């Protein structure tokens, strides 16, 4: 009788351990992280407010920034993973960003030619070829990979936009666009008009 009770106790203990382990696993996985080497888009995923809290280094902040660009210019430094909005007097607002992964980075001098709130998303054929699971069209919303706002860069397929994957800020994961958290891109959107000058810097390859 005592042996049977001991066996039952062990069985329940084992079941509890499995339940706890399963609960921990379910709680920990809220989307791929950079260290998991899963950089694919996640249409439909809605980030929590906690996930949109960036590490201190990538939070929007005023910084010293020496440049000859006029106030109001956007300067993107791909190697630093920062976007600067020039304020004048050697100052700028600095935003943490995600940039294009290897093979999708670029540089140049452009302008913003369109702005959109909660933009729709139509992945280009090249992106669908790389990620066949993507929808061919997705209406704007909290789960849209384009995020809350988009600034369209003239003469390119690239945009400065929000993201539903805030943990990718500071990483090289995109197909050439520059992504910010939704709160940050909303702040930037309100500060820059159509016609804003955009300078994209990329260090030369050695």
Q: Over its length of 206 residues, how does the chain's per-residue pLDDT go in tens digits?
A: 444 444 334 333 443 333 333 332 222 323 444 433 345 788 889 999 999 999 999 999 999 999 999 999 999 999 999 999 999 999 999 999 999 988 888 999 999 999 999 999 888 788 888 888 888 888 989 889 999 999 999 999 999 999 999 999 999 999 899 999 999 999 999 999 999 999 999 876 55
Q: What's the pLDDT score for residue 148?
A: 97
Rounded distance, CA 200 to CA 112, Å?
A: 12
Would residue 114 be called left, alpha or beta, if left means φ above 0 and alpha means ψ between -120 and 50 degrees? beta
Domains of the chain, by residue range, sit at: 55-201
**The CATH number of 55-201 is which of 3.90.1300.10, 3.90.1150.10, 2.40.440.10, 2.40.128.90?**
2.40.440.10
pLDDT value for 39? 55
Quick check: 74 and 199 in contact, CB under 8 A? Answer: yes
Which of 93, 146, 150, 177 is labelled catalytic? 177
First to last CA, the chain: 76
Instruction: State the catalytic residue, choosing from 41, 161, 182, 196.
Output: 161
Nearest C-alpha neighbor of 43 from the set 150, 139, 145: 145
Active site residue 190: no
- Residue 143, classified by CB atoms within 10 Å of its CB into exposed (0-12), middle (13-18) or buried (19+), is middle
Q: How far is it, in rounded angstroms, from Cα 135 to Cα 144?
A: 11
Q: Determine whether 161 is an active site residue.
A: yes
Q: Global pTM?
A: 0.78
Coil, strand or helix at 60: coil
pLDDT single digits (tens) 141-154: 988 999 999 999 99
Structure tokens at 88: 């004048």
């Amino acid at each position: 009788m005592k042996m049977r009770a001991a066996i039952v106790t062990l069985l329940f203990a084992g079941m509890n351990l499995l339940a706890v382990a399963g609960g921990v696993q379910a709680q920990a996985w809220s989307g791929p992280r950079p260290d998991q080497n899963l950089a694919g888009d996640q249409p439909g995923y809605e980030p929590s407010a906690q996930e949109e809290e960036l590490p201190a280094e990538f939070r929007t902040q005023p910084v010293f920034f020496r440049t000859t660009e006029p106030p109001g210019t956007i300067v993107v430094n791909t190697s630093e993973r920062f976007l600067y909005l020039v304020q004048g007097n050697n100052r700028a607002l600095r935003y943490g960003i995600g940039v294009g992964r290897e093979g999708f980075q670029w540089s140049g001098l452009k302008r913003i030619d369109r702005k959109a709130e909660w933009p729709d998303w139509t992945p280009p054929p090249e992106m669908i070829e790389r990620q066949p699971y993507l929808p061919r069209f997705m209406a704007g919303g909290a789960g849209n990979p384009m995020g809350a706002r988009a600034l369209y860069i003239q003469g390119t397929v690239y945009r400065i936009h929000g993201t539903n994957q805030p943990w990718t800020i500071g990483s090289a994961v995109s197909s050439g666009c520059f992504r910010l958290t939704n709160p940050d891109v909303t702040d930037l959107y309100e500060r820059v008009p159509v016609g804003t000058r955009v300078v994209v810097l990329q260090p030369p390859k050695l």
